[in-house]
Amino acid sequence: HAHTAYYFSVFGQTSATTCTLETAAGQKKIGCKACAGHRSHGTSSSAGTECLNVGEEAVKKMSENYHHFCLLGVCSEAKGDTEQQCLPSGLAVECWKPKLSACNS
């Protein structure tokens, strides 16, 4: 069947309760913030780490196993009180929310 492409991106909004999404290039972390239950044990990402630039509300609206396109980015450096951002790289990847969240496994 044909895939309907929905691009999910919310600039500056990088927190999410779902930690990762599955992509055509493997599992990718959403944003750069620490995520409780993620295998990184709640640490934020290092600068330059690849991330998905997807907002929390967009992830909540994603249907499980329904394929979308997400914008890829790289994590910025954390400076002082400034939170890391997932800076868009201009690339997109097919992405989907698995039936079981990576945070609950």
pLDDT of amino acid 5:
46
What would the DSSP string read from start to end of 24-45? TTS-EEBSSS--TTSTTTTPPP
Q: What is the pLDDT of residues 36-93, one digit of tens each?
A: 554 544 567 788 999 999 988 899 899 999 999 999 999 999 888 788 899 999 999 9
Residue 8 has pLDDT above 80, yes or no: no
Look up the CATH number of the domain holding residue 21. 2.30.130.100
Q: Is position 105 within any domain?
A: no
Residue 22 has pLDDT above 60, yes or no: yes
Can you tell me the distance from the alpha carbon of 82 to that of 92, in angstroms, rounded to the nearest whole number? 26
Question: Is the pTM higher than 0.95?
Answer: no
Domain count, the chain: 1
Q: Is position 38 within any domain?
A: yes
Q: Is position 36 within any domain?
A: yes
Q: Is position 1 within any domain?
A: no
Q: Is position 88 within any domain?
A: yes
**Which tokens go with 8?**
């999910």
- Banded model confidence at residue 19, pLDDT cuts 50, 70, 90: confident
Q: Is position 101 within any domain?
A: no
Q: Which domain holds residue 36?
A: 7-96
